[in-house]
Chain A
Amino acid sequence: MSNPLYNKHIISISDLSRSELELIVSTAKTLKKTPHPDLLKNRVIASCFFEASTRTRLSFETAVHRLGGSIIGFPDSGNTSLGKKGETLADSVKVISSYCDAFFMRHNQEGAARLASEFSSVPVINGGDGSNQHPTQTLLDLFSIYETQGTLDKLQVAFVGDLKYGRTVHSLTQALSLFDCEFHFISPSALSMPDYIIDDLNAKGCKFTLHDTLDGVIDNLDILYMTRVQKERFDETEYQHLKSSFILSAKMLEGVKDNFKVLHPLPRVDEITTDVDHTPYAYYFQQAENGVYARQALLALVLTNEYGDE
Chain B
Amino acid sequence: MKKQLKVEAIENGTVIDHISPGQGIKILRFFELAKGPQRLTIGLNLPTSSGDFKDLIKIEHTVFDQNQANQLALFAPKATINVIENFEVVDKFKVAIPESISGVLTCPNSNCISHNEPVDSLFNIKQERVGVKLKCHYCEKSFISGVFREFH
- Residues of A participating in the B interface, judged by any CB pair closer than 8 Å: 12, 14, 88-90, 107-112, 114-115, 118, 129-133, 196, 199
Contacts and interface: CB of A to CB of B under 8 A. Distances in A.
Interface hub of B114, B117, B118, B128 (most chain A Cβ within 10 A): B117
B30 to A, nearest CB: 24
B140 to A, nearest CB: 5
Given A111-B112, A199-B128, A89 B139 contact: no
Contacts of B119: 90, 115, 118
B137 interface: yes
Given A110-B113, A111-B112, A130-B111, 11 more contacts: A12-B140, A109-B111, A110-B111, A111-B137, A115-B113, A115-B117, A115-B119, A118-B119, A131-B111, A132-B139, A132-B141
Q: Is the interface of B mostly helix, strand, loop or mixed?
A: loop
A87 to B, nearest CB: 11
Contacts, number: 55
14 contacts: A14-B140, A110-B111, A110-B112, A110-B113, A110-B138, A110-B140, A115-B113, A115-B138, A118-B119, A129-B113, A130-B111, A132-B139, A132-B140, A199-B128
Size band of the interface chain B makes with A = 10 to 19
Nearest to A14: B140
A3 B141 CA distance: 30
Interface string B115-146: 01111000000001100000011111110000
A110 B139 contact: yes
